[in-house]
Homo-oligomer: A and B are copies of this chain.
């Protein structure tokens, strides 16, 4: 995983300014390696005594996404979530009972599916969403 410093350096090189809010939000993603929604980010900041306006968080998320620092992850619950856009592509196991999120690596199999689709359909796949819902070891 990229260090927070690497990320901030990358942002600086792309013309972003170093602000307190930006630093803290990047740190939140570093310290919580799972998809986060706006309110969850603000709550984590609040625990550290940092008060940020929700508009600012939404705008910072758009900004980090446009710089490819973070990417969308959708749990289908109507909230926008994002996580660090690292090298390791992974998907999620989401416990519908306790809401815990685990990572799972099945990217090779998904690429295989995409190749099959490319062969059979005249469709250029750019992206996919794949999340698994069920019960974790504690809840099942």
Contact = CB atoms under 8 A, between A and B. Distances in A.
Given A78-B80, A121-B102, A134 B129 contact: no
Interface stretch (A41-49, A55-63, A106-114): A106-114
A87 to B, nearest CB: 21
Nearest to A137: B122
Contacts of A109: 109, 112-113, 116
Contacts of A93: 117, 121, 123, 125
Contact of A125 (B116, B133, B137): B133
Identical chains bound together, number: 2
A52 B131 CA distance: 34
A102 B123 contact: yes
Nearest to A131: B129
A104 interface: yes
A104 B131 CA distance: 17
Nearest to A120: B104
Interface of A: 72, 74, 76, 78, 80, 93, 95-96, 102, 104, 106, 109-110, 112-114, 116-117, 120-137, 140
